[in-house]
Every structure is written in structure tokens, then in C-alpha cells.
Amino acid sequence: MERPCIKICRYEDCTGWCLGCGMTKPEKKSWKKVPEYRGAILAALTPRLEALAATGHAVGHSAGKKKSAV
């Protein structure tokens, strides 16, 4: 199973969710070491990214883009 990490490791302060993939730091570590957690981790990612986007965060590949200076 391919890892959902997209190499944009920026974390939302309150939740600890990665803005790129939605995983937490402990989940990223568990992905390789505890494969039986993968299904639960994957099930949580889309709702997390949707929740972050609903609060105005750039998520997914957009989270890796630099904000333009105004």
C-alpha cells in the first residue's frame, strides 16, 4: 500500500494534522512500523483535510505553495 504522504510536512497547530496529507506525526511513524493501522489512518485523512480546508487552510499540494506577497 502506498504511503499517503506527499512530502509537504506542515502541521496545523491545534490538531497536529499535516496540511499536505492529513496524518499526524505519530501516524507517519506508525505507517511503516504498524501496518495494521493503515486502514484506520487512511479512513481519517479525507475528513481531516476537508475540515482543515473548511477553516481556510490550504491543503494537499496547495499547502506547499508559498503565499504571494501583497
- Could you tell me which residues come within 8 angstroms of residue 41 by beta carbon, excluding any fewer than 6 positions away? 4, 23, 27, 30, 31
Query: Could you tell me how many helices (H) and strands (E) the chain has, helices first?
Result: 2, 0
The DSSP code sequence of 4-37 is ---S---B-TTT--BTTT---HHHHHHHHH-GGG
| 30-44 pLDDT, tens digit each | 998 999 999 999 999
How many angstroms separate the CA atoms of 3 and 42, rounded? 9
**Which parts of the chain sit beneath pLDDT 70?**
1, 66-70
User: Which cell is 23 given?
Assistant: 496524518
pTM: 0.87
